[in-house]
């Protein structure tokens, strides 16, 4: 068979085979088609669900990480600051104990003490009354000034409050006497209502250290010096 | 409605999770793959089993498909490998015995009067194919159904290009002889 004849034969056979393939009924049954299509569909569904899982896993991991970071940030640091926390806690307890025994109206002396402690601190540091860094601390320490400033304003003018500032024990004793006599109006705070924040006693003391630890720590030291110097 | 995308794009879309792409791909290849298997093994029951298994392999291997593979070659390679496994399980390659030819004749279905002659021609082609030695038959079917070139056939079979050429030449000559009018009557 020559190459030309062979090529012709191959071509004829290919045509015959193709025609035969197009026209004959050799094809898979419909049931087989359905089975294979269903298998493909199931495989796609399966891979979809598998693809969704890493996304959920990633989300869960990210959530756990965020919670963990938040917890770490909320924790107080160790070392130096932890020591200051101990001192602040002691101060808080002391303040709470002393405040528990007085009426809400007696909160004003605490404000004055706070003011004096601050000025004593400034004197010791030899710095201007309120420097930039101090103002920064005060800005961060909003709860304390808010509590003290109103009381400071009041103590400047009223003699009864001056008494409270100079001798709190006496002032408290006089309040008790006034209450026993039923003279409630006189027993009240010299300028009337006591701010709600200042009347919370122990809560006030606990608010102080949270506002700014450095500032509070200095305040405590100043307070100690003040109490040691006072008769 | 047909999809204008090529086979490779359809397969990649299917691998990405688009099941409608698979439907189109399946529509295009259901007949060629089935014919290849049917002509290779000679009976419907075995062809059905192999066909189902081959499509399962295609579905399960979808993530491993690369455009460079070419879907047609890739799918027929899977089919060919499955066929080789089937023959290994049998312990031998199928021979062109009369039993298989008879089974093919049983499988042939009668059609309307007008297509009777064509159908008879088809039956004769199938019978002739089954009488070819398996290597020649497979080379012929892969060339016709999968459109493989000589080089690709040689690579797949692990033989030289000239060997494949020779197999195809013998297959073509034998088919021509078997399909001659009166060849069956002569008992060739």
Q: Nearest CA to CA, how far is B91 from chain A (Å)?
A: 26
User: Over the stretch A86-139, which tens digit does the pLDDT of each residue have?
Assistant: 666 676 676 666 655 555 555 556 667 667 767 766 665 654 444 444 544 544
Classify residue B183: in a domain, yes or no.
no
Interface contact A39-B59, CB threshold 8 A: yes
- DSSP letter at A192? B
Distance CA B150, CA A96 (A): 97
Q: Round the CA-based radius of gyration of chain A to a whole number and report it.
A: 42
* Same domain assignment for residues A34 and A113: no
Q: How far apart are the first and last CA of chain A?
A: 133
* Same domain assignment for residues A84 and A46: no
User: Over the stretch A1-51, which tens digit does the pLDDT of each residue have?
Assistant: 566 666 666 677 777 677 666 666 788 999 999 999 999 999 998 887 777
From A50, which residue of chain B is nearest by alpha-carbon distance? B17
In angstroms, the Cα distances linking A13 to A53, A184, B125, B163, B166 are 54, 122, 9, 20, 16
The domain boundary, picked from A25, A45, A73, lies at A73
> By the 8 A CB rule, do B14 and B29 touch?
no
State residue A38's pLDDT score.
93
* Same domain assignment for residues A116 and A62: no
3-state secondary structure of A189: strand
State residue A164's pLDDT score.
62
Interface contact B30-A43, CB threshold 8 A: no
State residue B98's pLDDT score.
40
* Same domain assignment for residues A14 and A126: no
* Same domain assignment for residues A136 and A213: yes
Interface contact A14-B30, CB threshold 8 A: no
* Same domain assignment for residues A89 and A57: no
* Same domain assignment for residues A84 and A45: no
Q: How many domains does chain A have?
A: 2
Count Cβ atoms within 10 A of the Cβ of residue B71 and give its class: 0-12 exposed, 13-18 middle, 19 or more buried.
Answer: buried
Q: How many domains does chain B have?
A: 1
Partner-chain residue, chosen from B18, B23, B109, that has the shortest CB–CB distance to A37: B23
Count Cβ atoms within 10 A of the Cβ of residue B21 and give its class: 0-12 exposed, 13-18 middle, 19 or more buried.
Answer: buried
* Same domain assignment for residues A129 and A66: no
In chain A, what residues touch B115 (CB-CB under 8 Å)?
Answer: 23
Q: Taking Cα atoms as reference points, which of B80, B130, B86 lies closest to residue B105? A: B130
CB atoms within 10 A of CB A4: 8
In chain A, what residues touch B19 (CB-CB under 8 Å)?
Answer: 40-41, 44
Interface contact A18-B144, CB threshold 8 A: yes
The answer to whether B144 contacts chain A (CB < 8 Å) is yes
In chain A, what residues touch B181 (CB-CB under 8 Å)?
Answer: none
Interface contact B122-A23, CB threshold 8 A: yes
Interface contact B176-A47, CB threshold 8 A: no
* Same domain assignment for residues A68 and A92: no
Distance CA B97, CA B133 (A): 10
3-state secondary structure of A201: coil
* Same domain assignment for residues A17 and A41: yes
Classify residue B113: in a domain, yes or no.
yes
B105 falls in which pLDDT band (50, 70, 90)?
Answer: very low
User: Over the stretch A137-147, which tens digit does the pLDDT of each residue have?
Assistant: 544 454 455 54
The domain boundary, picked from A57, A73, A89, lies at A73
Classify residue B1: in a domain, yes or no.
no
* Same domain assignment for residues A58 and A136: no
Distance CA B50, CA B35 (A): 12
Distance CA A113, CA A195 (A): 17
Nearest 5°: the CA angle B185, B186, B188 is 110
Residue A43: φ, ψ to 5°:
-65, -40
- Cβ under 8 Å to A: B residues 67-86: none
Interface contact B48-A26, CB threshold 8 A: no
The answer to whether B35 contacts chain A (CB < 8 Å) is yes
């Amino acid at each position: 068979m020559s190459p030309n004849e062979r090529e012709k034969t191959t071509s004829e056979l290919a045509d015959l085979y193709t025609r035969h393939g197009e026209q004959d009924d050799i094809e898979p049954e419909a049931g087989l088609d359905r089975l294979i299509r269903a298998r493909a569909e199931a495989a796609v569904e399966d891979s979809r669900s598998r693809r969704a899982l890493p996304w959920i896993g990633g989300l869960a991991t990210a959530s756990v990480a965020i919670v963990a970071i938040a917890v770490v940030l909320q924790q107080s640091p160790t070392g130096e600051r932890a020591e200051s926390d101990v001192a602040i806690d002691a101060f808080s307890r002391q303040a709470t104990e002393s405040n528990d025994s007085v009426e809400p109206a007696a909160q004003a002396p605490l404000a004055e003490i706070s003011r004096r402690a601050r000025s004593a601190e400034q004197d010791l540091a030899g710095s201007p009354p309120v420097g930039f860094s101090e103002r920064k601390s005060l800005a961060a320490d909003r709860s304390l000034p808010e509590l003290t400033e109103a009381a400071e304003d009041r103590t400047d003018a009223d003699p009864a409050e001056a008494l409270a500032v100079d001798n709190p024990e006496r002032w408290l004793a006089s309040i008790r006497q006034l209450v026993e006599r039923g003279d409630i109006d006189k027993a009240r705070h010299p300028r009337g209502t006591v701010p709600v924040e200042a009347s919370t006693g122990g809560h006030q003391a606990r608010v102080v250290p949270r506002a700014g630890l450095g500032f509070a720590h200095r305040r405590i030291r100043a307070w100690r010096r003040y109490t040691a110097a006072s008769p | 409605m047909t999809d204008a995308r090529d086979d490779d794009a359809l397969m990649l879309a299917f691998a990405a999770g688009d099941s409608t792409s698979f439907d189109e791909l399946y529509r295009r290849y259901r007949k060629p793959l089935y014919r290849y298997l049917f002509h290779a093994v000679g009976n419907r029951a075995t062809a059905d089993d192999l066909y189902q298994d081959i499509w399962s392999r295609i579905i399960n291997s979808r993530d491993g498909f690369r455009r460079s593979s070419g879907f047609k070659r890739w799918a027929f390679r899977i089919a060919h490998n499955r066929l080789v496994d089937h023959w290994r399980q049998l312990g031998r390659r199928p021979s062109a015995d009369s039993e298989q030819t008879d089974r093919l004749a049983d499988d042939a279905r009668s059609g309307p009067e007008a297509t009777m002659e064509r159908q008879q021609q088809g039956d004769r082609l199938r019978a002739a194919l089954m009488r070819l030695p398996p290597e020649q038959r497979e080379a012929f079917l892969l060339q016709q159904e999968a459109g493989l070139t000589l080089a690709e056939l040689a690579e797949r079979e692990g033989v030289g290009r000239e060997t494949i050429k020779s197999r195809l030449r013998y297959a073509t000559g034998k088919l021509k002889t078997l399909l001659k009018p009166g060849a069956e009557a002569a008992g060739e």
